[in-house]
Amino acid sequence: MTGVVCRDMTWHDIPTLARVDGTVFDADAWPEATWWAELAERPRRDYVVVEEAGDVVAYGGVDVGGETADVMTLVVAPTGQGRGLGRLVLDELEGRARAGGADRLLLEVRADNGPALSLYASNGFEEVGVRRRYYQPGDVDAVIMRKTLGNNDVDR
């Protein structure tokens, strides 16, 4: 992708991330205070931003805390959707999980988010469970998905 840059998230990105999160997730959006806490208080978490022409078009984060890493968030701004940016972020997060020694990568996704479910399934994630009525308001289930990374060549 020409003109697309993937980089580490910085404090300067927080207002933009909160705004984009609000556009994409509405009631489930992370406010600025959550972003500040993520970057300040959680050293195991690693966040990336994808920029195009100086605009944030996608971002995501992963928590690497041992054998299992968790995707904390993965967002593609409306202006970037349908162009492979979600896969770019997911590949970056997976690489960071592998580099941190994780054998598995977990995530949860809204059961009504067809594009995200397709992205994860096409990237080797399998459904391993459901959290009923997890997303509120709306009583939307969360689908729990896992990918074996193979750092230890064992699927536990």
Res 103: pLDDT? 96
Answer yes or no: is 10 within a domain.
yes
Res 25: pLDDT? 86
Answer yes or no: is 155 within a domain.
no
Whether the pTM exceeds 0.75: the reply is: yes
Answer yes or no: is 14 within a domain.
yes
Which domain does 72 fall in, by range? 4-148
Answer yes or no: is 154 within a domain.
no
Answer yes or no: is 24 within a domain.
yes
Res 155: pLDDT? 44
How many angstroms separate the Cα of 75 from the Cα of each of 24, 81, 153, 156? Answer: 8, 9, 30, 29
Answer yes or no: is 153 within a domain.
no
How many domains, the chain? Answer: 1
Q: What is the DSSP string of 20-73?
A: HHHHHHGGGPPPHHHHHHHHHH-TTEEEEEEEETTEEEEEEEEEE-SSEEEEEE
* Residues 107/120, Cβ–Cβ less than 8 Å: yes
Answer yes or no: is 96 within a domain.
yes
Residue 19, domain CATH: 3.40.630.30
Res 1: pLDDT? 65
Res 41: pLDDT? 74
Answer yes or no: is 156 within a domain.
no
Res 152: pLDDT? 61
Per-residue pLDDT of the chain (156 residues; tens, 9 = 90+): 678 999 999 999 999 999 999 999 887 889 999 999 888 877 789 999 999 998 999 999 999 988 999 999 999 999 999 999 999 999 999 999 999 999 999 999 999 999 999 999 999 999 999 999 998 878 999 999 999 998 665 444
